[in-house]
Amino acid sequence: MDFAAARKVMVDSQVRVNDVTDRALQAALLETPRERFLPADRAFSAYAEIQPEIANGRLLMLARDLSKLLMALGARPGERALAIAGPYAGAVLARMGLEVTAQEADAAVFEVVGPVLADEGVQTVVAPLTAASGEGYDIIISECAVPGRPEAWINALKVGGRLAVVERSSAAGKAVLYVRGEQGVSRRELFDAAPQVLAELRPEPTFAL
Protein backbone atom coordinates (compact mmCIF):
# COMPACT_ATOMS: atom_id res chain seq x y z
CA MET A 1 0.00 0.00 0.00
CA ASP A 2 1.26 3.48 -0.88
CA PHE A 3 0.87 5.18 2.49
CA ALA A 4 2.16 8.55 1.26
CA ALA A 5 -0.55 8.61 -1.40
CA ALA A 6 -3.17 7.54 1.15
CA ARG A 7 -2.00 10.32 3.46
CA LYS A 8 -2.51 12.91 0.72
CA VAL A 9 -5.98 11.58 -0.02
CA MET A 10 -6.81 11.81 3.70
CA VAL A 11 -5.69 15.43 3.90
CA ASP A 12 -7.48 16.36 0.68
CA SER A 13 -10.76 14.55 1.38
CA GLN A 14 -11.06 14.63 5.19
CA VAL A 15 -9.09 17.68 6.34
CA ARG A 16 -9.03 20.50 3.80
CA VAL A 17 -12.71 20.08 2.92
CA ASN A 18 -13.63 20.60 6.59
CA ASP A 19 -12.25 24.14 6.73
CA VAL A 20 -8.85 23.19 8.13
CA THR A 21 -6.87 25.93 6.41
CA ASP A 22 -3.70 26.07 8.55
CA ARG A 23 -0.88 25.32 6.08
CA ALA A 24 1.60 24.27 8.77
CA LEU A 25 -0.93 21.81 10.18
CA GLN A 26 -1.71 20.42 6.73
CA ALA A 27 2.01 19.93 6.10
CA ALA A 28 2.47 18.13 9.42
CA LEU A 29 -0.44 15.80 8.65
CA LEU A 30 1.08 15.02 5.26
CA GLU A 31 4.40 14.15 6.90
CA THR A 32 3.26 12.18 9.95
CA PRO A 33 3.01 8.41 9.28
CA ARG A 34 -0.43 7.68 10.75
CA GLU A 35 -0.09 4.00 9.76
CA ARG A 36 2.68 3.56 12.34
CA PHE A 37 0.21 4.29 15.15
CA LEU A 38 -1.51 0.96 14.51
CA PRO A 39 -0.35 -2.65 14.70
CA ALA A 40 1.13 -3.80 11.39
CA ASP A 41 -1.89 -5.95 10.57
CA ARG A 42 -4.19 -2.92 10.88
CA ALA A 43 -1.97 -0.29 9.27
CA PHE A 44 -4.06 -0.43 6.09
CA SER A 45 -6.98 1.17 7.99
CA ALA A 46 -5.06 4.23 9.17
CA TYR A 47 -6.37 6.57 6.48
CA ALA A 48 -9.99 5.42 6.27
CA GLU A 49 -12.76 7.52 7.78
CA ILE A 50 -12.98 5.27 10.84
CA GLN A 51 -11.48 5.12 14.31
CA PRO A 52 -9.09 2.14 14.12
CA GLU A 53 -7.88 0.41 17.28
CA ILE A 54 -4.35 0.95 18.59
CA ALA A 55 -4.45 -1.53 21.50
CA ASN A 56 -6.82 -2.72 24.25
CA GLY A 57 -9.75 -0.73 22.91
CA ARG A 58 -7.90 2.57 22.48
CA LEU A 59 -8.76 4.19 19.16
CA LEU A 60 -7.25 6.77 16.84
CA MET A 61 -9.47 9.82 16.51
CA LEU A 62 -11.01 10.61 13.12
CA ALA A 63 -8.53 12.70 11.13
CA ARG A 64 -11.28 15.20 10.36
CA ASP A 65 -12.10 15.84 14.03
CA LEU A 66 -8.50 15.84 15.20
CA SER A 67 -7.38 18.30 12.54
CA LYS A 68 -10.17 20.70 13.56
CA LEU A 69 -9.18 20.42 17.23
CA LEU A 70 -5.55 21.06 16.36
CA MET A 71 -6.37 24.11 14.25
CA ALA A 72 -8.45 25.58 17.09
CA LEU A 73 -5.40 25.41 19.36
CA GLY A 74 -3.33 27.74 17.19
CA ALA A 75 -0.13 25.86 18.04
CA ARG A 76 3.15 27.73 17.69
CA PRO A 77 6.70 26.33 17.37
CA GLY A 78 8.53 26.14 20.69
CA GLU A 79 5.40 25.73 22.81
CA ARG A 80 5.09 22.89 25.33
CA ALA A 81 2.30 20.44 24.64
CA LEU A 82 0.79 17.44 26.38
CA ALA A 83 -1.15 14.86 24.38
CA ILE A 84 -3.33 12.86 26.77
CA ALA A 85 -4.53 9.63 25.16
CA GLY A 86 -3.52 11.22 21.87
CA PRO A 87 -0.23 9.84 20.53
CA TYR A 88 -0.92 10.71 16.90
CA ALA A 89 -1.92 14.25 17.88
CA GLY A 90 1.34 14.52 19.81
CA ALA A 91 3.38 13.49 16.79
CA VAL A 92 1.62 16.02 14.55
CA LEU A 93 2.35 18.78 17.08
CA ALA A 94 5.99 17.69 17.22
CA ARG A 95 6.15 17.99 13.43
CA MET A 96 4.89 21.56 13.90
CA GLY A 97 7.88 22.35 16.10
CA LEU A 98 6.42 21.93 19.58
CA GLU A 99 8.01 20.20 22.58
CA VAL A 100 5.59 17.34 23.18
CA THR A 101 4.90 14.76 25.87
CA ALA A 102 2.43 11.92 25.26
CA GLN A 103 0.64 10.50 28.30
CA GLU A 104 -1.09 7.12 28.42
CA ALA A 105 -2.43 5.01 31.27
CA ASP A 106 -2.04 1.71 29.40
CA ALA A 107 1.54 0.76 28.58
CA ALA A 108 0.21 -1.52 25.82
CA VAL A 109 -0.54 1.60 23.77
CA PHE A 110 3.11 2.62 23.90
CA GLU A 111 4.14 -0.88 22.88
CA VAL A 112 2.50 -0.07 19.54
CA VAL A 113 3.23 3.65 19.16
CA GLY A 114 6.43 4.00 21.21
CA PRO A 115 8.83 3.55 18.28
CA VAL A 116 7.19 6.18 16.09
CA LEU A 117 6.90 8.63 18.99
CA ALA A 118 10.61 8.19 19.68
CA ASP A 119 11.35 8.88 16.01
CA GLU A 120 9.20 12.02 16.17
CA GLY A 121 10.97 13.29 19.30
CA VAL A 122 7.92 12.91 21.56
CA GLN A 123 8.55 12.09 25.21
CA THR A 124 6.28 9.45 26.78
CA VAL A 125 4.91 8.92 30.27
CA VAL A 126 2.66 6.20 31.66
CA ALA A 127 0.37 7.66 34.32
CA PRO A 128 -3.35 7.72 35.20
CA LEU A 129 -5.30 10.03 32.91
CA THR A 130 -7.35 11.55 35.72
CA ALA A 131 -4.64 14.21 36.00
CA ALA A 132 -2.11 15.69 33.61
CA SER A 133 1.52 14.71 34.05
CA GLY A 134 3.35 17.92 34.85
CA GLU A 135 2.13 21.49 34.61
CA GLY A 136 2.72 24.80 32.87
CA TYR A 137 1.67 23.57 29.42
CA ASP A 138 0.84 25.88 26.53
CA ILE A 139 -1.32 23.20 24.94
CA ILE A 140 -3.16 20.07 26.04
CA ILE A 141 -5.10 17.87 23.63
CA SER A 142 -6.82 14.49 23.77
CA GLU A 143 -8.04 12.19 21.02
CA CYS A 144 -10.59 10.75 23.45
CA ALA A 145 -13.65 12.41 24.92
CA VAL A 146 -14.23 13.31 28.56
CA PRO A 147 -17.61 13.15 30.33
CA GLY A 148 -17.40 16.73 31.61
CA ARG A 149 -15.15 19.70 32.26
CA PRO A 150 -11.66 18.24 32.98
CA GLU A 151 -10.57 20.52 35.82
CA ALA A 152 -7.37 18.59 36.53
CA TRP A 153 -6.24 19.04 32.93
CA ILE A 154 -7.15 22.73 32.88
CA ASN A 155 -5.13 23.26 36.05
CA ALA A 156 -2.02 21.98 34.23
CA LEU A 157 -2.18 24.87 31.73
CA LYS A 158 -0.10 28.00 32.08
CA VAL A 159 -1.78 31.39 31.77
CA GLY A 160 -2.61 31.70 28.10
CA GLY A 161 -2.61 27.92 27.72
CA ARG A 162 -5.25 26.12 25.66
CA LEU A 163 -7.01 22.77 26.03
CA ALA A 164 -8.87 21.18 23.11
CA VAL A 165 -11.05 18.19 23.92
CA VAL A 166 -14.45 16.67 23.20
CA GLU A 167 -16.96 16.66 26.05
CA ARG A 168 -19.40 13.80 25.70
CA SER A 169 -21.99 12.59 28.21
CA SER A 170 -24.36 10.95 25.71
CA ALA A 171 -24.35 9.66 22.13
CA ALA A 172 -23.36 13.10 20.84
CA GLY A 173 -20.44 15.18 22.01
CA LYS A 174 -19.14 18.72 21.58
CA ALA A 175 -15.56 19.70 20.86
CA VAL A 176 -14.55 22.62 23.08
CA LEU A 177 -11.60 24.95 23.52
CA TYR A 178 -10.60 26.12 27.00
CA VAL A 179 -8.24 29.05 27.45
CA ARG A 180 -6.73 29.78 30.86
CA GLY A 181 -6.52 33.50 31.60
CA GLU A 182 -5.31 35.64 34.49
CA GLN A 183 -8.81 35.90 35.92
CA GLY A 184 -10.27 32.54 35.01
CA VAL A 185 -10.95 30.08 32.22
CA SER A 186 -12.96 30.68 29.04
CA ARG A 187 -14.81 27.94 27.14
CA ARG A 188 -15.80 27.97 23.47
CA GLU A 189 -17.78 25.27 21.69
CA LEU A 190 -16.35 24.25 18.32
CA PHE A 191 -18.18 21.40 16.55
CA ASP A 192 -20.03 18.12 17.11
CA ALA A 193 -17.97 14.96 17.54
CA ALA A 194 -18.30 11.54 19.18
CA PRO A 195 -14.95 9.88 19.91
CA GLN A 196 -14.69 7.21 22.60
CA VAL A 197 -14.97 8.44 26.20
CA LEU A 198 -12.07 7.77 28.54
CA ALA A 199 -13.43 5.12 30.89
CA GLU A 200 -11.36 6.18 33.88
CA LEU A 201 -12.84 9.68 33.79
CA ARG A 202 -16.44 8.45 33.94
CA PRO A 203 -18.04 9.21 37.32
CA GLU A 204 -18.73 6.25 39.56
CA PRO A 205 -22.37 5.15 39.34
CA THR A 206 -24.51 6.01 42.32
CA PHE A 207 -27.50 4.13 43.61
CA ALA A 208 -30.39 5.39 45.65
CA LEU A 209 -33.18 3.48 47.36
Assigned domain for 205 exists? no
pLDDT exceeds cutoff 60 at 39: yes
Rounded mean pLDDT of 136-164?
97
Assigned domain for 102 exists? yes
Assigned domain for 204 exists? no
Exposed e or buried b per residue across 147-169, where buried means at least 16 C-beta atoms within 10 angstroms of its C-beta: beebeebbebbeeebbbbbbbbe
Residue-range definition of the domain harbouring residue 31: 3-199
Exposed e or buried b per residue across 19-35, where buried means at least 16 C-beta atoms within 10 angstroms of its C-beta: ebebeebbebbeebbbb
Residue 189, pLDDT score: 96
Residue 97, pLDDT score: 98
Residue 204, pLDDT score: 58
Whether 185 contacts 179, CB under 8 Å: yes
Total number of domains in the chain = 1
Assigned domain for 24 exists? yes
Confidence class of residue 170 from pLDDT cuts 50, 70 and 90? confident
Assigned domain for 174 exists? yes
Q: What is the mean pLDDT of the chain?
A: 94
pLDDT > 90: percent of the chain? 92
Rounded mean pLDDT of 166-174?
90
Taking only the tens place, the pLDDT of each residue in 84-135 is 999 999 999 999 999 999 999 999 999 999 999 999 999 999 999 999 999 9
Assigned domain for 209 exists? no
Residue 57, pLDDT score: 92
Residue 169, pLDDT score: 86
Assigned domain for 208 exists? no
Residue 207, pLDDT score: 52
Rounded mean pLDDT of 25-29?
97
Among the listed ranges 48-52, 69-73, 183-187, 204-208, which one has the minimum average pLDDT value? 204-208
CATH code: domain of residue 118 = 3.40.50.150
Assigned domain for 21 exists? yes
